[in-house]
A and B are shown apart, each in its own frame.
Chain A
Amino acid sequence: MTAQAPAPRRRRSLAGRLLRDPQAVAAASVLLIIVVLGLIGPLLTSHGPNEASLDSINADPGTPGYLLGGDRSGQDILARLLASINTSVVSALIGTSIALLVGVSAGLVGGYYDRIRGGAEWLFSLIMTFPGLLLLIVLLPLTKGDFKVTMVIFGVLLSPGVYRLTRNLVVGVKNELFVDAARVSGLSDPRILRRHVLFAVRGPVIIATAFLAGASIGVQSGLSFLGVGPATTPSFGAMIAGGFAELYTEPLQFVWPSLMLGMMTASLVLFGNALRDALEGATRKPVKIKPVRPEPRTTGDAPAGLLVVEDLAIAYPTPSGELREVVSGVSLSLDAGETLGLVGESGSGKTQTAFAILRVLPAEAVVTRGSIRLDGREILGLKEKDMRALRGRSIAYVPQEPMSNLDPSFTVGDQLVEGLRAAKGLSRKEARAQALALLERVGIAEPERTFRCYPHQISGGMAQRVLIAGAVASRPVLLIADEPTTALDVTVQAEILDLLRDLQKELGMALLLVTHNFGVVADICDRISVMREGQIVETGTALEVFREPAHPYTRMLLDCVLDENTVRTDPPPASVPAHAEEEQR
C-alpha cells in the first residue's frame, strides 16, 4: 500500500464529481460562454469598441448595428461590453498567475527548507502590510494606470495568502511517509518538491485560484470605475461609471456592465465553492443543539432498574445519504449503586451508547429505535430543558481525554462553579466554597491554587480529578465514566480508579464504566457487558465472565490480558475478531 495510491482515483472522480454537481456545471458553463463571447466579440459586432460616431450618442437599444444602443460617446455598448470581458479575463490571468507563481514557489521553498522560512515570512508579512488598493493608487505615477502593470503589482499583493496556504500544506506534508520514502530512495530535493509535494498541495491551491481571479477582476473594474487608465481600454468599471452619469436618462447603460461583472464574479465564486466541495468534501455541517427525536415507548412489562437501555440503535448518515448503524439493538441495565463494565474494543459503539444515555450525541447522529429509561422515566423523548435538569443532577459524565474536556479559556474554578450553579442553583459564593471542598475531596493538594489555574497549567491527572470533582458535584445517581484512565500515566491510573470507587461508595452512585481494559474491569466492576460491532455479545457478573466466557470474542479479549501477565492499555489488534469467528465455525 502506498500513500499515493488513493490520489489518482480521487483525481479521476474529481472531474466526475464536478460534472454531477449542478452548481459546478452551471457556473463553469456561464464562465465558458462569457469568455468565448469575449473572444469572438469582433465577429458579433459591426463596430470596434473604440469606434465613436456622433449619430449614435445614447442611441436606443436595437438601433441597427447597435444592438444594446450607444453610450454617451457614441460607442457601441455591445462592442465595449464584449471587449471588457477580454480586459477582465486578461486581468484575472495576470493577477492570478503572478500571485500563484510568487506564492506557490516561495511557499514550496519556504515550507521545505526551514532555514529559508524566516526570511520568506518576513518578506510576505511586509507585503501584507501594504493596504492593497491604496498601494495601487499610490503607485499610479509609476503604472500610469495601465491595467496590465497594475495587475502585476496586484498579483504580488495577493501572493502572501497563497504563500501561507502553500507553506502550511508543505510543512504538513513534508514529513509524510511518501516524501520520506522519496528522499531515502535518493531523489533530489527540487525533484521531490516538484513531483511529490506540489502534487499533494494542489487541491487547496486550485480552489484559491478561483477566488484570486475574482479579486483581480473586482480590483481592475474598481480602478477603471475611478477613471484610472486610458479611455481606449474598455472595462466594466469605466462602463459602469459612464452609465452612472446617465443613470436618470439611460438606466440600461448602467445595467449591462453591472450584470456582466456580477455574473463573472458570481460564477467564479460558485465554481470555487463547488471545487472546494469536490476536493475537500462538503463543508462540515453545523452542530444542532436540539433534542434527539422522540421514540415510541416500548410497551409491555419493562425490566426494572435504575438505568434500563432497550434495543437501542444509533445510525449516522453516510456521504451517499444512507444511514449506517454504529449501535444496533443494545440492551443493558444497571441497578442503583451497582458498577457495570461496558467492555469492547475501539469502534464497538461503547462511547456512542454512553453519549446516547447522556443525550449528547453529535447532531448528525440518529437514534433509530429503542428506549432509555432512568428511574422508569423515558429520556429519549425528553425536551432539552428537562434533559438539562436531569444531566445536572442525576446523570454525570467523566470523559476519556481530560485536557480537551476543559474549556481552555476559563479557569478550573470558573468551570466548576458554573456547573455547580447550573445544577444546584447556588450563589456564586456557595458554589465557590463547594468547588474548593470538592477539589480537596478528589485529592488535589492545593485546592485554592488549582481553582485559579487555567487548564493548560495543570497535569492530565489533575485535570481528570477536576473533571471527576465536577461530575460528582451534584451527587448524581448515575455516573458514566468513558475510559476514565486511558489517557493517563500508568501510575495515575490506579489512583483515579481508587478515587472513583471511593466516591461511588460514599455517594451510593451507580457507575457505568466504559472501557476496553479487562484489568480495570476486574478491579472495579460487579457486572460486565461485552460489546462488539454495535451489539452486546455477552452479559454476566464479573466472576462468571472471567471464569467462563461464553462468547469467543470475550475469550479473545480476556486472552489478550491474561496471556501477557501485564495489563494492556491499547486495544487488541482489529484482525483478531475474524480469527475468533473462524474458530467458532
Chain B
Amino acid sequence: MLFYVARRLVSGLVLAVMVTLITFLLLAPSFNGIVGNRLGSAATPETVAQMKAQMGLDRPLATQYVDWLSHAVRGDLGRSYFTGIPVRDAVEQHLGVTLSIVLVTLMLTVVVSVALGVLAASKGGLVDRAVQALSLTGHLIPNLLIAIVLVYLLAVKSRLVPATGFTSLADDPAKWAQSIFIPVIALLIASVAGLTAQVRGTMIDELRKDYVRMLRTRGVPTRSVVLRHALRNAAGPALTVLSFEFVAMLGGALIIEKVFAIPGFGSYAFDASLQGDIPIIMGITVFAVLLVVVVNLTVDLVNGWLNPKARIF
C-alpha cells in the first residue's frame, strides 16, 4: 500500500517535470515579445537584448530550465516579473480562493447528482425523462449565461447576495458563503448535468445485473438493493467522472471568476499570461499538475477500496 502510493507519487513528480518542461519550451518562442511588451515604447532590438540578458532569458533553454527546476524542487518558484512578490505565496493564495469555491461545488455536485441519477434509474418513466431533460439543458446552457442571469435576479433585483467580489472563509464565514453563492450555482449546473448522466447510466446497468435480482428474491428491501448494493457498484465510474470535472473546473472556473471579479486561480493565470509573467505561469502549471496528480491518486485509492478485486491495501 505504502509502496503503491510512493510509486504513484514518484511517477506523478516525473509527470510534473515533463509538463513544466513542455510548457517552458512552448513559451520560449515568445520571450522576445514578452520582453518587448515589458519595455513598451522603449523596445528596440538593443534594449530587448539587454533586458533579456538581465533577466537571464538569453541563456541556453536547457540551462534556464534546469536552473528553474533546481530552485523549484527546493520550493522556490521565483518572483513575479511585474510585482516582485514570491510566486509560491501568490499562487497558493489564489488557489485557495478557487478551491474554496470548487470544493463546495463538488460536494453539492455529488449529493445532487447521486439523488437525481438514482431516482431516474430506479423510477424510470416520467421522472427519468425529466432528469434526462434537465441534464441535457445543463450541458447546453453556457455557465456564463447562467451566471449573468443569476446575478441579475439575486443580486441586482432582489439584493439577496452581493453581485461581485469575494470574502475569504477565514475573514468572515457568513460573508464568504454569500459571496460564493452565485458562482457555486453557476458552476454546479454544468457539473451536475455531467455527473447525473453518468450515475443514471451506470445505475441502469447495475440494476439489470443478476445479483440485483438475487437480492430481490431474498426479500431484501428495494431501498437497500438500490442504495447499498447497486449504488456502491456504480460509485467507481462516477468518481472517475467527478475527478475529470474537478480538473476541468480548475481552469473552467476562470470565466465565472472574471464575471464575479473573484481573485481566483484561473483569473490570476489569465492576467499573468496576458502579461507574459513567466515565473507565475510556470508556478501555476506546477500547482495545477500536482493537484491533478493528487486527485487522481485519491480517486484510485478510493476506487480500490470500493472494489474488492482492485483492493491494494
Contact = CB atoms under 8 A, between A and B. Distances in A.
Interface of A: 126, 129-142, 144, 218, 221-222, 225-226, 240, 244, 247, 254, 258, 261-262, 265-266, 269-270, 273, 283-289, 355, 358, 360, 362-363, 384, 388-393, 395-397, 399, 401, 404-410, 415, 418-419, 422-423, 454, 456, 467, 470-471, 474
B126 to A, nearest CB: 11
B74 interface: no
14 contacts: A131-B250, A131-B251, A133-B266, A139-B23, A141-B281, A142-B29, A142-B30, A225-B144, A258-B145, A287-B121, A287-B208, A391-B218, A392-B218, A422-B221
A454 B311 CA distance: 11
Contacts of B142: 218, 221-222, 258, 261-262, 265
Contact of B139 (A134, A269, A285, A405): A269
Nearest to A456: B309
Interface in B216-231: 216-222, 224-226, 229
Given A141-B30, A288-B125, A226 B270 contact: yes
A265 B220 contact: no
Given A132-B251, A399-B210, A288 B123 contact: yes
B33 interface: yes
Interface centre among A131, A289, A407 (most CB of B within 10 A): A131
A218 B30 CA distance: 27
A362 B208 contact: yes
A139 B27 contact: yes
Interface in B29-68: 29-30, 33-34
Contacts of A470: 218
B222 A289 contact: yes
Contact of B269 (A134, A222, A254): A134
Given A137-B266, A142-B26, A226-B270, A405 B210 contact: yes
Of the listed residues A258, A285, A418, the one surrounded by the most CB atoms of chain B closer than 10 A to its CB is: A418
B301 interface: no
Interface residues of B, number: 78
Contact of B19 (A129, A423, A456): A129
B269 A137 contact: yes
Contact of A419 (B122, B219, B251, B274): B219
B213 A408 contact: no
B57 to A, nearest CB: 12
Contact of B288 (A131, A289, A406, A407): A131
Contacts of B233: 407-409
Nearest to A355: B213
B217 A360 contact: yes
Contacts of A218: 142
Contacts of A355: 213
A125 to B, nearest CB: 9
Query: Quick one: which of A142, A262, A456, A474 has the most chain B CB within 10 A?
Result: A142
A423 B219 contact: yes
A169 to B, nearest CB: 18
A434 B284 CA distance: 59
B214 A134 contact: no
Contacts of A407: 211, 215, 229, 233
Given A134-B250, A262-B140, A269-B136, A222 B255 contact: yes
Interface string B223-264: 011100100110000000000000110111011001100000
Contacts of B270: 137, 140, 226
Interface of B: 15, 18-19, 23, 26-27, 29-30, 33-34, 120-125, 128, 136, 139-142, 144-145, 148, 152, 200-201, 203-205, 207-211, 213-222, 224-226, 229, 232-233, 247-248, 250-252, 254-255, 258-259, 266, 269-270, 273-274, 276, 281, 284-285, 288-289, 292-293, 306-309
A401 B210 contact: yes
Nearest to B122: A289
Given A133-B254, A422-B221, A286 B269 contact: no
Given A129-B15, A134-B251, A247-B152, A141 B217 contact: no
B217 A131 contact: no
Nearest to B269: A137
Given A262-B142, A265-B140, A287 B210 contact: no
Contact of B216 (A141, A286, A391, A415): A391
A409 B266 contact: no
Contacts of A261: 142
A423 B54 CA distance: 81
Contact of B285 (A138, A287, A392): A138
Nearest to A145: B274
Contacts of B124: 285-288, 363
B217 A391 contact: yes
B178 to A, nearest CB: 22
A397 B219 contact: no
Contacts of B217: 358, 360, 391, 395-397, 471
Residue from B214, B225, B270 with most neighbouring chain A CB atoms (10 Å)? B214
Contacts of A269: 136, 139-140
A401 B213 CA distance: 12
A141 B27 contact: yes
Contacts of A393: 219
Contact of B247 (A131, A225, A240): A131
A261 B207 CA distance: 38
Contacts of B218: 391-392, 396, 418-419, 422-423, 470-471
Among all A-B residue pairs, the 6 with the closest Cβ atoms = A392-B219, A134-B251, A133-B251, A419-B218, A141-B30, A140-B273
Contacts of B285: 138
A140 B293 CA distance: 24
A391 B217 CA distance: 5
Contacts of A129: 15, 19, 289, 292-293
A393 B217 CA distance: 10
Contacts of A456: 308-309
B145 to A, nearest CB: 5
A247 to B, nearest CB: 7
B229 A138 contact: no
Nearest to A243: B148
Contacts of A287: 121-122, 124, 204, 207-208
A134 B204 contact: no
Contacts of A396: 217-218
Given A137-B254, A287-B124, A406 B144 contact: no
Contacts of B210: 399, 401, 404-405
B204 A389 contact: no
Contact of A139 (B26, B144, B200, B258): B26
Nearest to B144: A225
A408 B309 CA distance: 8
B121 A254 contact: no
Contacts of A141: 27, 30, 33-34, 273, 276, 281
B30 A286 contact: no
A419 B269 contact: no
A86 B220 CA distance: 58
Nearest to B207: A287
Given A129-B19, A391-B216, A396-B217, 13 more contacts: A134-B269, A136-B251, A142-B30, A144-B33, A261-B142, A283-B201, A286-B123, A287-B204, A360-B216, A397-B217, A404-B211, A409-B306, A456-B309
Name which of B15, B33, B210, B266 has the most chain A CB atoms within 10 A of its CB: B210
Nearest to A125: B15
Nearest to B151: A247
A390 B128 CA distance: 29
Contact of B248 (A132, A390, A397): A132
A138 to B, nearest CB: 5
Nearest to A221: B142
Contact of B220 (A225, A408, A419): A419
